[in-house]
Amino acid sequence: MSPLSRFSSTVAAGGRNATAAAVTAAALLMSLTACAGDTDKESAGAPGTASTSTAPKGDLTVLAASSLTDVFKKAGAAYEREHPGTKLTFSFAGSQELVAQVRQGAPADVLVTADTKSMDKVKADTGTPAIIAKNRLVIATAEGNPKKIGGLRDLAGSDLKVVLAAPEVPAGKYSDRILDAQKITVKPVSLEPNVRAVLSKVELGEADAGLVYKTDAESASDKVDAVAIPDAQNAIAQYPAATLKESKHAEAAAAFVAWLSTPEARKILQEAGFQQP
């Protein structure tokens, strides 16, 4: 018989110890209530925080635009520290290559491209995209800018070796757009499959200049200089992120995509030179 049941029997019998029993039972009831309250608090955890034991876990493969190479390595390490049990594997390439991989059924969980048009091409294969960051173009030159390039019009010079991203690459599309808008004709010595390849050409001295994202130039600031392009002549790149419907870890993938819009993730992106969405 429980303590509370014994108390009820004693009172019913009308014994002279009923009053004392009542006091004892009341104290016991208060003790049990306090214990239950403590248990509830332990189960719920601190207000406003999520228990890491209940966070979605799973090894994720993230297909990401090549211009995210450096910042996503840092962001990924931060995410893994916050989410024990989740490991991120990144596959970086031009957005057009990532789209081709998705269409071919490459096993992956998240897609992040450098433009919305690329993401739109696989909208049947993704969840709803969220813009996580923005970027802009600059002219990357050899360190010290030995050719004294001051703006877009200088890229038309016949004595310059200019390299651009291919037209099907987001960076290439943005480059064509801003050059066409200014009616500037550039004859590139090569068209590269992604923006990091453009940067590499300039770093290695195989080109005098190239159009790359601001963040790419900053990642190699010890090897190249960046010539700013005025806002009125520039283009803004948007980076959408989305889960892939074929993901085997749908909840973990959704959690990572959501995290990319948190203050912590945005701070990491901003420190790398990306603009807020």
| Local mean pLDDT, 10-residue blocks, the chain (277 residues) | 41 41 40 40 35 70 97 97 94 97 97 98 98 98 96 95 97 97 97 97 97 96 97 97 97 97 97 95
Q: What is the pLDDT of residue 47?
A: 34
Q: What is the pLDDT of residue 54?
A: 63
Q: What is the pLDDT of residue 56?
A: 80
Radius of gyration of the chain (CA): 30
Which residues, in sequence order, are bridge partners of residue 61?
Answer: 89
SS3 for 142? Answer: strand
Cα(120)–Cα(102) distance, rounded to whole angstroms?
Answer: 12
Q: Are 198 and 175 in contact (CB under 8 A)?
A: no
Cα(203)–Cα(196) distance, rounded to whole angstroms?
Answer: 10
Q: What is the pLDDT of residue 98?
A: 98
**Maximum CA extent, the chain:** 113
Cα(237)–Cα(273) distance, rounded to whole angstroms?
Answer: 13
Q: What is the pLDDT of residue 151?
A: 97
Reported in sequence order, the residue ranges of 113-208 that DSSP labels E, i.e. its strands, are 130-142, 162-165, 190-192
**Could you give the angle at the alpha carbon of 193 between the alpha carbons of 188 and 196, nearest 5°?**
90
Q: What is the pLDDT of residue 28?
A: 40
Reported in sequence order, the residue ranges of the chain that DSSP labels E, i.e. its strands, are 60-65, 88-93, 110-112, 130-142, 162-165, 190-192, 209-213, 224-228, 236-243
Burial of 9 (0-12, 13-18, 19+ CB in 10 A): exposed
Q: What is the pLDDT of residue 71?
A: 97
Q: Are 64 and 132 in contact (CB under 8 A)?
A: no
Calculate the alpha carbon distances from 199 to 113, 143, 223, 238 in Å: 18, 12, 10, 20
Residue spans of alpha helices (H) in the chain: 3-13, 18-44, 69-82, 95-103, 116-120, 170-181, 195-203, 214-219, 250-259, 263-271
Closest-CA residue to 25 (of 5, 39, 43):
5
Residue at token pair 């005098």: 208
Q: Are 28 and 55 in contact (CB under 8 A)?
A: no
Q: What is the pLDDT of residue 166?
A: 97
Residue at token pair 């803004």: 236
Calculate the alpha carbon distances from 191 to 82, 136, 265 in Å: 40, 19, 32
At 139, which amino acid appears?
A: I
